[in-house]
DNA sequence: AAGACATGAGAAAACGTTTTCTCATGTTGA
DNA sequence: TCAACATGAGAAAACGTTTTCTCATGTCTT
């Protein structure tokens, strides 16, 4: 306890060895439950280790084991509302394994992307997770052929890689089925730009469930577009919908506001359902928004465990995995109880 | 070029030395512009290094230099809209210095906080930045007495530490002065809970600028409260305000919606100004919101450079630093041109 | 009683760098 | 012509671990 520390200021294995009166090899084996030694010695070393607060230097350890217990998260979405839950899931899953996460926002900039990837490789990350905001675009940096495994989440992946995404068809089906179950018959889908593959997937699932004559209105991802769509629909006077499935929560917010301004009651006259479950928005609409949740945190968790498995060389089948969405029921659709 | 690589799969300094026909010491000195050697040799080694793609292993380097070129970002705010811009600023400032950032979300959980801090220290981070969502609360983990420097941003710091925050009084003054400059005379401040020190600071600055009789309404940080406040004010029929300064953009959104529903024109009858410049919200209000921007990205940049300075042992004066806010003029106040 | 074997623990090498020291050779000055 | 010195480059130690050998001692077998 009174012996002096190494000059670095941190307690090293040598300090501990000196304190315990054994060699560093013995200390290492004691702490890692390796090798042969008297149980009493092992226990004593462990006790002294906690007493003097020894914690092994991860740099030194990583140098030898070629495992740094570090992964990189590359993101496009200036940590918007998609990447954030994904990150939370990753971190939550990996902290239990002693893995820390480098966050790198690359902003659609190839040069910045390369800088970050190089920096991470220099730091010997065990793997990389790439995330974006849409599944049909890839990050502006080539991650194929890297010396570490890469997992893609919510962004387009390389051919033989592991890619995770939310199941758009299933999510849209969930929403449409819910509207029908509540007795809504004249359904409309107000959504984002048609060039998003997710938009097309959801629209197809909507049409399948709602009937081919149910119309789909493509636009942009904004509140304003929700307003405009309602203005267009209600200018027709006839064939007005009684159930509206929106492509995201912002559109839904615009739709609900526009309906209120027209004196149309939500959910009495029309049920409205959103997508994303962006809570800060969904909870503040009047009435609070029933919406589809993509389980992004769970997606992040899966991505974290996946990249860890790859880093440890455990067998993992490549390909695209679609994770199910869930319905979050609030008050914008009427009805009660939980979704099936 | 034809010589085989080390078994690790990565190019080491030994591979490079063999390729160049020199010793590893010479290579190291060549690449770091250290020591003495023929200019021609240095150039040749550098050329071969890029040819075979040599990049020094940061773990090995860090082991020796006790600089890992890594910092940790500890956050409370499950990466909400405060921490995010701060993070972006940190990352942007540090990537140029080759520093990568570990992101750790600790969710008000002391145990999780300790786990993350320990993991970061094990990985020999050069410093830690702690961020939160309010300046009068500290993170649930003790960062005093750590073997690395700590900088606090938007959260309460330890006594002799460096702490960065936005200048609440200046920001509120900016907003109030803007309303007055536009000719508004009957001002109201609708804001959040009075137990926030930022709320009190801003309210004090508002009163100073607007006159002591200008009223301040304390509430919560939600759209709903904005609605309620307008309902209360307009139930009085007399002494109606013509300028409303809101404590955040969500309240402002609620205020604007409530005014529209009452047939009060914004900005013709009443000017409304928000706080935070949460773009996705501020741009979608009708009309788009004029609001105070706390320059959080800049704050993050400063925090990054600060922790780097401390890590390198450069002298840095401790204490609380307040960074100025700026006014972002959109259409909710009327008037034109830029703030003074 | 003597070889075979189990046990406990230390010595040394290894990981990939950087840095200090040493040394051979060439060059200058008187 | 010889000492003093500058130059270019390599050898070796160091950083803090883990892991593989090695070895002394003690305990069985027969």
SS3 of A145-182: the string is CCCCCEEEECCCCCCCCEEEEECHHHHHHHHHHHHHHC
Question: Which residue's CA is nearest to the C1' of nucleotide C9?
Answer: A26
Q: Looking at the predicted structure, is the pLDDT value of residue B34 above 70?
A: yes
> Closest partner residue to B58 among A8, A95, A124, by Cβ?
A124
**How far: A60 CA to D16 C1' (Å)?**
5
Distances (CA, A) of A131 to A143, A322, B84, B104: 12, 15, 16, 18
Q: Looking at the predicted structure, is the pLDDT value of residue B78 above 80?
A: no
pLDDT in tens, B117-148: 999 999 999 999 999 999 999 999 999 999 99
Pairing of strands A215-218, A319-323: unpaired
Query: Residues 6 or more apart from A83 whose CB is under 8 A from it?
Result: A75, A76, A77, A131, A132, A133, A154
Average of per-residue pLDDT across A287-299: 97
Q: Looking at the predicted structure, is the pLDDT value of residue A7 above 70?
A: no
Please judge whether B78 and A88 are an interchain contact, meaning their C-beta atoms are less than 8 angstroms apart.
yes
**How far: A38 CA to C17 C1' (Å)?**
37
CA distance B122 to chain A (A): 5
Q: Looking at the predicted structure, is the pLDDT value of residue B339 above 50?
A: no
Same domain flag for B274 and B305: no
List CB contacts (< 8 A) between A121 and chain B.
55
Please judge whether B91 and A73 are an interchain contact, meaning their C-beta atoms are less than 8 angstroms apart.
no
Please judge whether B123 and A60 are an interchain contact, meaning their C-beta atoms are less than 8 angstroms apart.
no
Total domain count for chain B? 3
* Dist. CA B58–CA A127, nearest whole Å: 16
Q: Residue A313: how many CA atoms within 13 Å on its side-chain side? A: 2
Same domain flag for A302 and A161: yes
Average of per-residue pLDDT across A295-323: 95
**Among chain B residues, CA nearest to A114:** B95
Residue A244 host element (H or E): strand A243-246
At A162, the pLDDT band (50, 70, 90 cuts) reads: very high
List CB contacts (< 8 A) between B133 and chain A.
none
**Among chain B residues, CA nearest to A112:** B95
Buried b (16+ CB within 10 A) or exposed e, A53-67: ebebbbbbbbbeeee
* Dist. CA B182–CA B22, nearest whole Å: 73
Q: What is the DSSP string of B178-239?
A: HHHHTT--SEEEEES-TTSHHHHHHHHHHHHHH-TTSEEEE--SSHHHHHHHHHHHHTT-SS
Q: Looking at the predicted structure, is the pLDDT value of residue A233 above 80?
A: yes
Please judge whether A122 and B57 are an interchain contact, meaning their C-beta atoms are less than 8 angstroms apart.
yes
At A83, the pLDDT band (50, 70, 90 cuts) reads: confident
In-domain check, residue A153: yes
Same domain flag for A302 and A289: no
Residue B279 host element (H or E): helix B279-282
pLDDT in tens, A107-148: 899 999 999 999 999 999 999 999 999 999 999 999 999 999
Same domain flag for A185 and A253: yes
CB B126 within 8 A of CB B336: no
List CB contacts (< 8 A) between A79 and chain B.
79, 84, 87-88
Query: Residues 6 or more apart from A61 whose CB is under 8 A from it?
Result: none
In-domain check, residue B207: yes
Which of A43-52, B38-47, B75-84 has the weakest average pLDDT? B75-84
Using left for φ > 0, alpha for ψ between -120 and 50, and beta otherwise, residue A204 falls in alpha
Q: Looking at the predicted structure, is the pLDDT value of residue B337 above 50?
A: no
Please judge whether B58 and A10 are an interchain contact, meaning their C-beta atoms are less than 8 angstroms apart.
no
CATH code, B71: 3.40.50.2300
CA distance B178 to chain A (A): 28
In-domain check, residue A177: yes
pLDDT in tens, A268-282: 999 999 999 999 899
In-domain check, residue A329: no
* Dist. CA B295–CA B279, nearest whole Å: 13
* Dist. CA A59–CA A225, nearest whole Å: 52
**Among chain A residues, CA nearest to B279:** A80
Same domain flag for B239 and B91: no
> Closest partner residue to B105 among A10, A88, A122, by Cβ?
A88
pLDDT value, residue B335: 76
Which of A292-296, A313-317, A318-322, B218-222 has the weakest average pLDDT? A313-317
In-domain check, residue A288: yes
**Among chain B residues, CA nearest to A282:** B223
**Among chain A residues, CA nearest to B65:** A8
**How far: B46 CA to C29 C1' (Å)?**
37
Neighbours of B81 (CB within 10 A): 20
Q: Looking at the predicted structure, is the pLDDT value of residue A77 above 90?
A: no
Residue recorded with tokens 């008037």: B335
> Closest partner residue to B95 among A8, A115, A250, by Cβ?
A115
B34 is in which domain, residue-wise? 13-56
CB B278 within 8 A of CB B189: no
CATH code, B26: 1.10.260.40
- Chain D footprint bases within 7 A of protein beta carbons: 7-12, 14-21
Same domain flag for A23 and A85: no
CA distance A101 to chain B (A): 5
Which nucleotide is at minimal CA–C1' distance from A11?
Answer: D16
pLDDT value, residue B41: 95
Same domain flag for B206 and B225: yes
Same domain flag for B179 and B217: yes
In-domain check, residue B112: yes
Residue B150 host element (H or E): strand B150-153
CA distance B299 to chain A (A): 17
Mutation target for B interface from A50, A106, A122: give the one with most B CBs within 10 A.
A122
Please judge whether A103 and B87 are an interchain contact, meaning their C-beta atoms are less than 8 angstroms apart.
yes
Please judge whether A60 and B63 are an interchain contact, meaning their C-beta atoms are less than 8 angstroms apart.
yes
pLDDT value, residue A336: 61
pLDDT value, residue A84: 84
DSSP H helical ranges for B68-134: 83-95, 110-122
List CB contacts (< 8 A) between B60 and chain A.
63
Same domain flag for B303 and B162: yes
Tokens of residue A275, six digits = 């997508």
In-domain check, residue B328: no
Same domain flag for A286 and A300: no
List CB contacts (< 8 A) between A280 and chain B.
250
Which of B106, B99, B97, B159 lies closest to B130 in space, CA to CA? Answer: B106
Average of per-residue pLDDT across A34-47: 94
At A1, the pLDDT band (50, 70, 90 cuts) reads: very low
**How far: A25 CA to D22 C1' (Å)?**
13
Same domain flag for A129 and A243: no
pLDDT in tens, B187-243: 999 999 999 999 999 999 999 999 988 999 999 999 999 999 999 999 987 889 999
In-domain check, residue A56: no
List CB contacts (< 8 A) between A55 and chain B.
118, 121-122
Same domain flag for B263 and B230: yes
CB under 7 Å from strand C: A 21-26, 35-39, 41, 60, 63-64; B 6, 8, 10, 12-14, 24-25, 27-29, 31-32, 34-35, 54-57, 60-61, 63-65
Residue A227 host element (H or E): helix A223-235
**How far: B34 CA to C28 C1' (Å)?**
25
Average of per-residue pLDDT across A260-264: 93
List CB contacts (< 8 A) between A115 and chain B.
95
pLDDT value, residue A213: 86
């Amino acid at each position: 306890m009174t012996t002096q520390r190494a000059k670095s200021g941190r307690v090293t294995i040598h300090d501990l060895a000196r304190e315990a009166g054994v060699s560093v090899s013995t200390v290492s084996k004691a702490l890692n439950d390796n090798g042969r030694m008297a149980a009493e010695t092992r226990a004593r070393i462990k006790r002294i280790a906690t007493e003097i607060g020894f914690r092994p230097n991860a740099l030194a350890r990583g140098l030898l084991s070629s495992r740094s217990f570090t992964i990189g998260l590359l993101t496009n979405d200036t940590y918007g509302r998609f990447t954030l839950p994904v990150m939370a899931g990753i971190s939550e899953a990996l902290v239990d394994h002693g893995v820390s996460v480098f966050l790198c926002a690359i902003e659609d900039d190839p040069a910045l992307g390369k800088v970050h990837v190089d920096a991470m490789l220099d730091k010997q990350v065990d793997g990389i997770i790439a995330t974006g905001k849409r599944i049909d675009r890839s990050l502006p940096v080539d991650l194929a052929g890297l010396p570490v495994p890469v997992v893609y989440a919510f962004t387009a992946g390389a051919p033989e890689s592991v890619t995770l995404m939310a199941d758009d068809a299933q999510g849209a089906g969930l929403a449409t089925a819910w509207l029908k179950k509540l007795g809504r018959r004249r359904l409309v889908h107000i959504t984002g730009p048609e060039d998003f593959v997710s938009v097309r997937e959801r629209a197809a699932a909507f049409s399948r469930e709602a009937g081919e004559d149910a119309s789909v209105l493509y636009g942009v991802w904004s509140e304003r577009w929700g307003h405009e769509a309602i203005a267009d629909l209600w200018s027709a006077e006839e064939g007005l919908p009684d159930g509206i499935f929106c492509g995201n929560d912002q559109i839904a917010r615009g739709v609900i506001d526009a309906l209120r301004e027209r004196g149309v009651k939500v959910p009495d006259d029309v049920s409205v359902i959103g997508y994303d479950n962006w809570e800060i928005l969904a909870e503040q609409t009047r009435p609070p928004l029933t919406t589809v949740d993509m389980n992004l945190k769970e997606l992040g968790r899966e991505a974290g465990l996946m990249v860890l498995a790859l880093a440890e060389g455990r067998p993992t089948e490549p390909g695209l995995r679609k994770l199910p969405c869930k319905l979050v029921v609030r008050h914008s659709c009427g009805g009660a109880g939980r979704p099936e």
